Amino acid sequence: MLSAEGVSFAYQRHLVLDDISLSLKAGEFLGFLGPNGSGKSTFLKNLLGFLTPFQGRVVFSGAENTGAENGRVPDRTERSRRLAFVPQNSHPAASLTVRELMLMGRLPHMRDRWTGYRKADREKVEEVLEALGIADMAERNVMSLSGGEAQKVVIGRCLVQEGDILLLDEATSGLDLNHSIEIMELMRRKAAGEAKTIVAVLHDLNLASQYCDRIVLLKNGRLRYQGIPSEILTGEVLEDIYGIRAVVKKDEYGKPFVLPRRDSTAGEKRGKEDQGVY
């Protein structure tokens, strides 16, 4: 559905992404992991068109619903209809009700600015409010919400948009364990039942293992590993990527789970490589 072909990106002279090629598939739940500063968020912003690579390109393929030909670089309208995004640190700073904020997710589907929202738009908002269990908050001002509540509302706005591809940048970071699992299960159903493509930047290795079909690991702007969780989440790989010694076990379903054991020497070495958070 969407692919990056040799994408490289730099902030001024600091190289953040280095020749990344990656294809996304319909119905796939992809976990995007790596240390702080490895380029995960920057990569999502290149997919979205917020940033433009100085080398390589991002293309849609087989975009039948837009009439795009294979290999066509998507324009802004196409991106807004097909890509939905949950950013980091996304507590809304606007005096809107929860329902009003979520309704903004329907903007790419409006016929024009004069006709306004249709009945179908409002019905989609109500459907998502119920699905997320936040219908009772619909009339609350978003400025009054806790961080976790606001995060669920922003996720709701993303779902209301009905994009083919959902890009989640640490979308569960402000949620407790119960709500993190709730969101991951919802995304799993979207991928399996509606053929949505989910790309989730995560720091929780165990959540990624339980819910993602494929995991990609970045380090210093380069794609170092990709594959199914049982292949990628090994002690050797985690030491290489994160500089930790970890015990990796498997549950009764064959899913790996990680018990970290920090190695001070490896940690010091990794710390010297970190350049910041992007």
Tell me the mean pLDDT in the region 228-255: 92
What percentage of the chain carries pLDDT values higher than 70?
Answer: 86
Are the CB atoms for 229 and 257 separated by under 8 Å?
no
When the pLDDT of each residue in the chain is averaged and rounded to a whole number, the result is: 86
- Give the integer Cα–Cα distance in Å for 91 and 18: 31
**Residue 171 DSSP code:** T
Q: Looking at residue 73, what is its pLDDT?
A: 56
Extents of the domains making up the chain: 2-232, 233-273
**Does residue 188 surpass a pLDDT of 60?**
yes
Say which residue the tokens 């009700």 belong to. Answer: 97
**Does residue 252 surpass a pLDDT of 60?**
yes
66-75, 109-118, 139-148, 217-226 — which is least confidently predicted?
66-75
Q: Looking at residue 61, what is its pLDDT?
A: 67
User: Where residue 92 falls among pLDDT bands split at 50, 70, 90?
Assistant: confident
**Other CB atoms within 10 A of residue 262 CB:** 11
Most confident of 86-90, 175-179, 262-266: 175-179
Tell me the mean pLDDT in the region 44-54: 92
Residue 17 phi/psi, 5-degree rounding, is -120, 135
Tell me the mean pLDDT in the region 19-45: 95
What percentage of the chain carries pLDDT values higher than 90?
Answer: 64
User: Where residue 262 falls among pLDDT bands split at 50, 70, 90?
Assistant: low
Instruction: List 223's β-bridge partners, or say none.
Output: 218
Cα 136 to chain center, whole Å?
A: 27
pLDDT digits (tens, 9 = 90+) for 67-87: 334 455 556 667 777 899 998
User: Where residue 276 falls among pLDDT bands split at 50, 70, 90?
Assistant: very low
Are the CB atoms for 31 and 40 separated by under 8 Å?
no
**Virtual torsion, Cα 21, 24, 29, 30, nearest 10 deg:** 10
Q: Cα Rg for the chain, rounded, in angstroms?
A: 19
User: Where residue 195 falls among pLDDT bands split at 50, 70, 90?
Assistant: very high
26-30, 41-45, 146-150 — which is least confidently predicted?
146-150
Q: Looking at residue 74, what is its pLDDT?
A: 58
User: Does residue 40 sit in helix, strand or coil?
Assistant: helix
Q: Which CATH number fits domain 2-232: 3.40.50.300, 3.40.47.10, 1.20.1250.20, 3.30.110.40?
A: 3.40.50.300
**Does residue 145 surpass a pLDDT of 80?**
yes
- Give the integer Cα–Cα distance in Å for 190 and 261: 34
Q: Looking at residue 268, what is its pLDDT?
A: 52
Please report which residue ranges of 1-146 form alpha helices under DSSP H: 40-48, 76-82, 98-103, 119-131
